[in-house]
Amino acid sequence: MDELTRNSEFDTRIAEGIKIEPKDWMPEKYRKQLTRMMSQHAHSEVVGMLPEGNWITRAPNLRRKMALLAKVQDEAGHGLYIYSAAETLGTSRQELVDQLLTGKAKYSSIFNYPTLTWADIGIVGWLVDGAAIVNQTMLAKCSYGPYSRAMLRICAEENFHKKQGYEIICTLMKGTKEQQKMAQDALNRFWWATLMMFGPHDSNSPNSADLFKWKVKKKSNDELRQHFVNITVAQAHTIGLEIPDPDLKYNSETRNWEFGEINWDEFYAVIKGHGPCNKERLQARNDAHDNGAWVREASIAYAKKKQGKNLERFLNVG
Ligand code: BYC
């Protein structure tokens, strides 16, 4: 089959909403775009363990500690699902991880901000996981089968994470004046950084055209950001928190909460490696990778040994 026919068959499948599976033919650009996006997503899950992991030893009680431990472990699991899904496109996990460790690959800007107080853990669960759900609910319907199926499972878990975070903040808001201040301060520091998670404005998003054409994205960066603001403002006001945006106002015609401009200079500085914690995060991932070398060696040796036995058994049976 020639290139033109293959391309047109691929486009027809996309138009009909048929999922693309790993062994199906796909344009190289589709493979590349998905590998880029999925690997960045997997890296985000893994780097995302760091700001919250920072509070496991300081959680205020056993119940909070257990929930936080489980959440951080879930993020590791999400990283694994998405690396596995990304590998089906032909790049090995080792290669993808190397791109992260050498600083070549991006991961979500939000994880380059520090978690300074316990309230930050509540805010991360509520806002960051909340934003991730908005984005990933869309991706669960994307055209690439392995990615969309991974998203379905991840979204179910993220919902628990969001509730866990919001409950921490609700508890603080029912507490002392200091606790309420702590929650407001965490919201002030994380609000704008969370809005940046959705990426640049649509007019400055170079990848969106391809991703829309191939039904990887079904809603734009700005549409998802607006949806997130609309649901989150109500949740903040219900518990007495103020959104740190003097331009925030409700438009009763469009039924949207209109909001001020994001500091895009800050966004681009963070994604270029100059955020408050970029160096620290990369160092922590490199240290973890180096310290885990013996585990990888041992498991490869074990797998080889087992494979050898299976091979012997197979040969004996044969
Ligand atoms: N941070 O053309 P654009 C989670 C980059 S949740 C860093 O609009 P695209 C978690 C972008 O990569 C977070 N970089 O890109 C939650 C591109 O650069 P390259 C992870 C960003 O792909 C709780 C350039 O800017 N979620 O893991 O159309 C706990 C131009 O942007 C960011 C995902 O990754 C950013 N915020 O749209 C633990 C979801 N925004 O690659 C963990 C999957 C943009 O051309 N990804 N850039 O050099 C997506 O949905 C899309 O990739 C994005 C960006 C909406 C993020």
Q: Which pLDDT belongs to residue 317? A: 44
Q: How far is the CA of 73 from the centre of ligand 1 (A)?
A: 22
pTM for this model (two decimals):
0.94
**List of the chain residues with pLDDT < 70:** 309-318
Q: Which architecture does CATH list for 3-274?
A: Up-down Bundle (1.20)
Q: Which pLDDT belongs to residue 311? A: 58
CA-closest candidate to residue 186, choices 125, 139, 137: 125
Give nearest CA residue, ligand 1 atom 43: 41
**Distance (Å, rounded) from C-alpha 5 to C-alpha 9?**
6
Query: Which atom in ligand 1 lies closest to the alpha carbon of residue 71?
Result: 29
Q: Which pLDDT belongs to residue 303? A: 86
Give nearest CA residue, ligand 1 atom 23: 129
Q: Which pLDDT belongs to residue 309? A: 67
Burial (CB count <10 Å: 0-12, 13-18, 19+), residue 285: buried
- Give the chain's largest Cα–Cα span: 76
Tally of CB atoms within 10 A around 145: 16
**Quick check: 47 and 270 in contact, CB under 8 A?**
no
Q: Which pLDDT belongs to residue 3? A: 84
Give nearest CA residue, ligand 1 atom 41: 36
Binding-site residues, ligand 1, Cβ < 6 A: 36-37, 40-41, 44-45, 48, 75, 106, 108-109, 128-129, 132, 135, 196-200, 205-208, 211, 221, 271
Q: How far is the CA of 293 from the centre of ligand 1 (A)?
A: 29
Q: How far is the CA of 278 from the centre of ligand 1 (A)?
A: 16
